[in-house]
Amino acid sequence: MSIVFDPASQTFHLQAAGASYVMQIVRSKYIAHIHWGRKVRGTNPGGLLARRERCSFTPSTDPDDLSLSLDTLPQELPAYGGSDFRVPAYQVQLENGTTVSELIYESHRIYPGKPQLPGLPATYVEREDEADSLDIVLTDKLIGLKAVVTYTVFRHFNAVARSVRYINEGGGKLRLLRALSMSVDFPHPNFDMLHLSGSWARERHIERRPLTAGGATIESRRGASSHSLNPFVALLSKDADEDHGEAYGFSLVYSGSFLAQAEIDPYGTTRVVMGVNPFDFSWLLEPGESFQTPEAVLVYSGEGLGEMSRTYHKLYRTRLCRGEYRDRTRPVLVNNWEATYFNFNADKIEEIATAGQELGLELFVLDDGWFGKRDNDNCSLGDWFVDKNKLPQGLEDLAARVNRLGLQFGLWFEPEMVSPDSELYRAHPDWCLHVPGRRRTEARRQLILDYSRQDVRDYIVKVVSDILAGCPIRYVKWDMNRNMTEIGSALLAPDRQRETAHRYMLGLYEVLERITSAFPHILFESCSGGGGRFDPGMLYYMPQTWTSDNTDAVERLKIQYGTSIVYPVSTMGAHVSAVPNHQVHRTTPIEMRGHVAMSGNFGYELDLTKFTAEDKEAVRRQVAAYKQLRPLIQFGDFYRLLSPFEGNETGWMFVSEDRTEALVAFFQVLAKPNAPLSKLRLKGLDPGKDYRVLDVDGAAAEASVFGGDELMHIGLNLPQWKGDFRSRLYRLTAHEAE
Domains of the chain: which residue ranges?
Answer: 3-319, 333-546, 641-736
- The H or E element spanning position 667 is strand 661-668
For domain 333-546, the CATH architecture is Alpha-Beta Barrel (3.20)
Kindly state the DSSP code that residue 13 receives in the 8-state scheme. E
CA distance 89 to 275: 9
On the CB side of 677, CA atoms within 13 Å amount to 3
Measure the CA–CA gap between 295 and 255, rounded to whole angstroms.
11
Percent of the chain with pLDDT over 70: 98
The helix/strand count (H/E) of the chain reads as 12, 38
What's the pLDDT at 736?
66
SS3 letters across 171-226? CCCEEEEEEEEEEEEECCCCEEEEEEEEECCEEEEEEEEECCCCCEEEECCCCCCC
Q: Where are the alpha helices (DSSP H) in 636-731?
A: 708-713
The yes/no answer on whether domain 641-736 falls in CATH 2.60.40.1180 is yes
Cβ neighbours around 280 below 10 Å, total: 14
User: What pLDDT does 86 receive?
Assistant: 86
Beta bridge partners of 250: 233, 298
Q: What is the pLDDT of residue 701?
A: 43
Determine whether 466 is an active site residue. Answer: no
Contact 414, 368 (CB under 8 A): yes
Which helix (DSSP H) or strand (DSSP E) does residue 603 occupy? strand 601-605
Nearest-angstrom CA–CA distance, 167 and 286: 9
Q: Say how far apart CA 668 and CA 626 lie, in whole Å.
A: 21
| pLDDT at residue 33 in the model | 94
Q: How far apart are CA 557 and CA 552, in angstroms?
A: 9
Burial of 198 (0-12, 13-18, 19+ CB in 10 A): buried
The 8-class DSSP code of residue 329 comes to: P
| pLDDT, position 69 | 73
> Which residues, including other chains, have CB under 8 Å from residue 598's CB and lie 6 or more apart?
574, 622, 625, 626, 629, 633, 665, 729
Q: Read off the pTM.
A: 0.97
* Catalytic-labelled residue, pool 265, 450, 479, 552: 479
Cβ atoms of residues 180 and 275 within 8 Å: yes
How far is it, in rounded angstroms, from Cα 682 to Cα 718?
Answer: 12
Beta carbons within 10 angstroms of residue 268's beta carbon:
12
The candidate with the shortest Cα–Cα distance to 440, out of 423, 424, 420, 455, is: 420
Residue 64: active-site member: no
Report the 3 state secondary structure along 425-455: HHHCHHHECCCCCCCCCCECCEEEECCCCHH
> What pLDDT score does 111 carry?
98
- One fold for 333-546 and 641-736: no
Give every residue of the chain whose pLDDT is below 70, as ranges.
51-57, 66-67, 698-703, 736-738
- pLDDT value, residue 660: 97
**Which member of 367, 450, 549, 697 is catalytic?**
549
The phi, psi pair for 135, rounded to 5°, reads -105, 120
Domain 3-319 has CATH 2.70.98.60: yes
In three-state secondary structure terms, 665 is: strand
The string over 603-615, giving b where at least 16 C-beta atoms fall within 10 Å of a residue's C-beta and e elsewhere, is bbbbbbeebeeee
Q: How far apart are CA 91 and CA 79, in angstroms?
A: 6
Helix spans in 449-547 (H):
454-469, 500-518, 536-539
Angle at which helix 590-597 crosses helix 553-563, to 10 degrees, equals 10
Whole-number Å distance between alpha carbons of 154 and 124: 10
Residue 736's closest CA among 628, 634, 622, 659?
A: 659
